[in-house]
Structure 1
Amino acid sequence: MGTTYSVKVVAPSDRFDAKALQQQIDERLVEINQEMSTYIADSELSRFNQSQAGDWFPVSAELAEVVALAKKISEDSDGAFDVTVGPMVNLWNFGPDHHPEKVPTDAAIAAALANIGDDKLEVRLDPPALKKSVDGLYVDLSAIAKGYGVDKIAELVAAAGVDAYMVEIGGEVRAAGRKPDVSPWRIAIEKPIPGTRAIQQILELSDESLATSGDYRNFFEVDGQTFSHTIDPKTGRPLAHTLASVSVLHDDCAAADALATTLMVLGPDRGYNWAEEHKLAVLLLIRGEDGPVVRRTSLWPQSGE
């Protein structure tokens, strides 16, 4: 997934084999990567991306499950979340195909847009398979696979008999139970400030997931203009609004991961209204006209620092 992970568990040391669990976690992450990574040339997803249009392409049940969830969120958001945006992510230098940072031409953007659209991707759960209607369709699950990985590792840890744990992959988090001192897990949400690390809020997390999406870490500048890694599937261009960061609380980390990106694309007003309509617990951090960040929340817990 091109990122790091962290797993913390609360378990009695005399009856718990940490090394065995570590090996199981590593093996499970390798499996998920082999299914969903665009950084691995022979992963299931990479092989589907390289395939031609027309026929059903057999995949694992897990890959089909993630694509089905992605398509559901795409439908609910009128295409704001779209995993077929992969060609545009690559065109803007944010995918696995690294090349010098530069702004694509209008013609290149138009050409890439012709291969983008959730309606060009089909998923079947039984037997699990994917199908594309255009050869150039390229699926990128980077906005949902990390959260899915968190869910799967959390399930693995729980199956090992651990009731209290914190699982984090690339900043997406799921926590259960409490720490040995009976206090909840405390997760920091960052201020959306490029080039520095500062805490916006500390959130107490127990038996739920937290995902954050923002424009302040992965970006590049050309001639004084900043281009962030989140691409609007409708325009084929990086986001240009004032919403700097979105955090989502949800039972399911895969959904939280995808919903955070969805709200980033929708922006400060449409995103807030959509979150209210779908009864989501969200924290929006919006850049004010005079510089300070403005908080906007929906069903967000009031506790925390």
Structure 2
Amino acid sequence: MHVVSFLKIWLATIALAVLVSCTPAKPANQQYQLDGNTMGTYYVVKFYSDTTPDLTVLKQHIDTELELVNDLMSTYRPESELMRFNRHMDSSAFTISAQTRTVITEALRIAEQTGGVLDVTVGPLVELWGFGAKGRIERAPDEALIAQTRAWVGYDKLQLTEAGLSKDIAQLAVDLSPIAKGYGVDQVAAVLEQQGITDYLVEIGGEMRLKGVKAEKQPWKIAIEKPVSAERAVQRILLPGDMSVATSGDYRNYFEEDGVRYSHLLDPRTGKPITNRTVSVTVLHPSCMTADGYATALNVMAAQEALAFAEQHQLAVLIVTKTADGFNELTSSAMLPYLAE
């Protein structure tokens, strides 16, 4: 009896050893990367996983999600949901998707909070100044045309109800580009989370969302670009942790006429490109959609106005302004913990 029991234990031990030796070793935490094009720019997804993902299937999920955002909110697709609303020429409610409703709800909240500095109804002004789907212009529009177009702009003329989206004047048009890219980042992050991926960086054209850590538990580090058009250089390194990072700047997208530079960032209060000394604003927030919207609004504001707003609302903000000697930084209190030494 004892000999038989001992033999059974010995055989079971040998079988277990053979099974363990034949089982493939679990891969170490490895980096994977996917990239592509969307929203007129690029996207990059980096993530770490200790299992081997099906990258083809994951990329299909990401591309499908981003195509949906484009189909709903792009101003470059004539049949997008947003452009169909813009062609909707009466005051009746236009049915919109849950996704578009989410983005417009947040855009209107920030518009109200900033006194209309972020205004997604500036679409007609964006086109007038040559920064929209109709293409570039070579000369600034005259004052009468600016005044006429301003009469078609105003977030208070846009109504969001349970029935849908409606406009008070037929010419009103919505442009979600100041916030939709950030929303796309959030949606890609949601795809990763659904797949059990919790250590990642998602970027669409400079707007990012990060979570977890890299290999060997190293934190993600983000370089904020020095706001000069002639070179690529680092202004500041951030350690965002589990946050989103959005930067708005006017140093690459502009046109010049008679020595005057016209930024693509328009101030809804004047109907004209901004003329302040702010060259870039970086905002950290859990939501990339929200960070994106705030970054645009704060870049339109004068630097001290933007800093006061950031302090009032406890936003993590880094503002870079142009000086005679180079650049100056203004940092909100909430941003200080995220600055790398």
Q: Decide: shared fold, TM above 0.5.
A: yes
AA of the residue aligned to 1:166: L
- In structure 1, C-alpha distance between the alignment counterparts of 2:280 and 2:118, rounded to whole Å: 16
How far does residue 187 in structure 1 lie from its aligned partner after superposition?
A: 1.2
Which of structures 1 and 2 has the bigger CA Rg? 2
Residue 120, structure 1, aligned to residue 154, structure 2: no
Residue 295, structure 1, aligned to residue 329, structure 2: yes
AA of the residue aligned to 1:227: Y
Conserved 8 A contact 2:129-2:137: no
Structure 1 SS opposite 2:255 = strand
- In structure 2, C-alpha distance between the alignment counterparts of 1:121 and 1:282, rounded to whole Å: 29
Conserved 8 A contact 1:35-1:63: yes
* Structure 2 portions without partners, runs of 5+: 1-38
* Structure 1 portions without partners, runs of 5+: none
2:118 to 57, 81, 87: 81
| 2:198 match | 163
1:9 to 31, 39, 47: 47
Matches within 5 A, 1:206-221: 206-221=241-256
AA of the residue aligned to 2:112: E
Q: Pick 1 or 2: higher relative contact order, CA cutoff 8 A, min separation 6.
A: 1
Structure 1 SS opposite 2:122 = helix
AA of the residue aligned to 1:57: F
Residue deviations 1:188-223, cap 9 Å, x none?
101111222111012123211000001101111111
- In structure 1, C-alpha distance between the alignment counterparts of 2:84 and 2:313, rounded to whole Å: 35
Structure 2 SS opposite 1:192 = coil
Aligned length: 301
AA of the residue aligned to 1:106: E
- In structure 1, C-alpha distance between the alignment counterparts of 2:179 and 2:325, rounded to whole Å: 31
- In structure 2, C-alpha distance between the alignment counterparts of 1:295 and 1:75, rounded to whole Å: 27
Residue 242, structure 1, aligned to residue 266, structure 2: no
Conserved 8 A contact 1:195-1:217: no
How far does residue 108 in structure 1 lie from its aligned partner after superposition?
A: 1.2
| 1:38 match | 75
| 1:136 match | 171
| 1:232 match | 267
How far does residue 101 in structure 1 lie from its aligned partner after superposition?
A: 2.6
**What is the TM-score of this pair, normalised by structure 2?**
0.86
AA of the residue aligned to 1:297: T
- In structure 2, C-alpha distance between the alignment counterparts of 1:101 and 1:12, rounded to whole Å: 53
How far does residue 13 in structure 1 lie from its aligned partner after superposition?
A: 5.0
| 1:20 match | 57
1:284 to 319, 322, 328: 319
Superposition CA RMSD, Å = 1.1
Conserved 8 A contact 2:73-2:180: yes
| 2:15 match | none
Residue deviations 1:14-38, cap 9 Å, x none?
3x11111001000100001001100
Q: Percent identity?
A: 45
1:195 to 208, 230, 233: 230
Of 197-206 and 29-38, deviating more is: 197-206
Of 200-209 and 20-29, deviating more is: 200-209
